Amino acid sequence: MTPNGVPATIEPFRKDLLEWAESNLRNFPWRDDSISVYEMFVAEFFLTQTPAENTADVYPEFLDRYPALEHVREASQAELAEMIEPIGFQHMRADALAEIASEYDELPTDVEELLQLPRVGPYVANATLCFALDRRLPVVDRNVNRVYSRVFGDEYPDGDADRREFALESLPEDGAIARTYNLALLDFGAMVCTKQAPRCSECFAREYCSYYQSVVADGENLDA
């Protein structure tokens, strides 16, 4: 264990994941280094419950038409919903964006204030501020939970709050590097440590991955 309660294997995992990120991060319209808080928020708001590839089909056009909250404020609910319709939940998403635009000219950059916005949970709030402003915040979704559960086994805690704390303690100290680490974790879960048929044979974590080690110890060969 490290002094902050995270297993010592976080150190090789963090190093290996950041190396992997150097040549494997996915390229999406919301991955620009100079993205604004509003642009990042819209992306994360759409990405919740929607695959990234689908979101990428709608996102650029949405920002073209509504480049800032003031433009969202001027739109009708029907106009917003029509644009969001291809990725679903269009009425819920349109209502929430309209409500936010009615109250704010600029989005808050304090995580607790962001969490007060309609339909905004810890994932969207933390991801928005981490990816737009290099804030050192835990970004935990289903992919990240799966990766950490497999790599750290029983040492990855149960419960959303404890898991966010674990993810926070796992981050590199520097905010910009923490941003890259969080992006890499999301992409690693989507591309390598997938829900079905994880690509263990090409994974850097086999030596210390609890899931891989336990499967091998049980004599069940994966795909290596």
* Residues at the site binding ligand SF4, with contacts judged by CB under 6 A: 150-151, 192-193, 198-200, 203, 205-206, 209, 211-212
Q: How far apart are CA 100 and CA 9, in angstroms?
A: 42
Q: Which is nearer to ligand SF4, 100 or 185 (CB)?
A: 185
Q: Is 53 a catalytic residue?
A: no
How near is the Cβ of 200 to ligand SF4 at its closest, in Å?
A: 3
Residue with tokens 């795909």: 223
Of 161 and 217, nearer to ligand SF4 (C-beta) is: 217
Query: Would you say 108 or 198 has its CB closer to ligand SF4?
Result: 198
Measured from the CB atom, the residue of 138 and 198 that comes closer to ligand SF4 is: 198
Which tokens is 82 given?
């029509």
What is d(CA 207, CA 162) in angstroms, rounded to the nearest whole number?
Answer: 26
Spatial distance between the Cα atoms of 181 and 86, rounded to a whole number of angstroms: 30
Nearer to ligand SF4, 3 or 219 (CB): 219
Helices and strands in the chain: count of H runs, count of E runs: 12, 0
Q: Given the residues 11, 39, 44, 99, select the one marked as catalytic.
A: 44
DSSP string computed for 104-173: -SS---SHHHHTTSTT--HHHHHHHHHHHH--------HHHHHHHHHHHGGGSPSSHHHHHHHHHHHS-S
215 membership: H or E segment, kind and range? helix 210-217
Q: Report in angstroms how near the CB of residue 55 gets to ligand SF4 at its nearest.
A: 24
φ/ψ of residue 28, rounded to 5:
-130, 160
Do residues 130 and 178 touch, judged by C-beta distance below 8 A? yes
Minimum Å gap between C-beta 201 and ligand SF4 is: 8
Minimum CB separation of residue 177 from ligand SF4 in Å reads: 20
Using DSSP's 3-state secondary structure scheme, residue 7 falls into coil
As measured in angstroms, the least distance from the Cβ of 118 to ligand SF4 is: 35
Q: Which residue numbers are catalytic?
A: 44
